Amino acid sequence: MRQAEVLPAPADEQVAARRPGRPRSERAERAILDAALELFAESGVSGVCIEAVAARAGVGKATIYRRWPGKEDLLLDALALLKSPLPEPAGASVREDLVAMLGVMYRDAADPVRMRRYTLLLGEGEKYPKIMQRYKETIVEPRRDLIRSVLRRGVASGELRPDSDVEVAMWLLTGAVVARGKDGAQQVAADYAEQVVDELLLGLAPR
């Protein structure tokens, strides 16, 4: 018997078949992280356990353990979502790089949901100093180092004075945008991050 000819699917159906959306593993990982962060927001560190995260994310515990060795590592990755990724420095201008990074930090600080969860983290840090220390080392310090690298590049290129104190400048920049963001974005000019950078660079410009 002659085998029936199988016609190829229409081109649009083939394209649709090749675009299933986010890969299943990536979807599961994000669901797990979101579930851990939600549980943390509701009950603090003690409320985050693998069983509860698995139930809320709709996955098995084995799926979580394939990605994280335990609760602490999972929680740290979830807490990293409290901060948006900083853009990589383009390298053309110290001012432009600082404005881009501080703009992200300011928007995070002006987000009430993020700030409520971050305030909870600071409070939990007193009860769980090990987690707080790892959070600072693995999440906070690399972001500060990125800003330091831009400032050092400015010193090397002559955009900033050779005697500029990079550490003080980093704290002035980050402190100004984070503290001001807590007051609410509605009360602050849209170009606030640019204003902060420009005011600081006036003092650090070569004389």
Domains detected in the chain: 11-80 (1.10.357.10), 85-204 (1.10.357.10)
Tokens coding 136: 């600072």
Query: What confidence score (pLDDT) does residue 10 get?
Result: 44
What string of DSSP letters covers 25-37?
HHHHHHHHHHHHH
Q: How many CB atoms lie within 10 A of CB 76?
A: 17
Grouping H, G, I as helix, E, B as strand and the rest as coil, residue 74 is helix
Helices 94-109 & 166-181, crossing angle to 10 degrees? 40
106: pLDDT strictly greater than 60: yes
pLDDT band for position 187 (cuts 50, 70, 90)? low
Contact (CB, 8 A) for 178 and 119: no
Asked if pLDDT for residue 19 goes beyond 70, the answer is: no
pLDDT given at position 23: 61
Rounded to an integer, what distance in angstroms lies between the CA atom of residue 117 and that of residue 56? Answer: 18
Which of residues 25 and 72 earns the better pLDDT score? Answer: 72
Q: Which residues contact 13 (CB under 8 A, 6 or more apart)?
A: none
* Helix/strand number for the chain, H first, E second: 11, 0
| Pick from 122-126, 151-155, 183-187: least confident | 183-187
> Alpha-carbon distance 199 to 201, whole Å?
6
More confident residue, 68 or 185: 68
Cβ pair 167, 64 in contact under 8 A: no
pTM above 0.85, yes or no: no
147 closest CA partner among 202, 206, 203, 193: 193
The phi, psi pair for 151, rounded to 5°, reads -65, -40
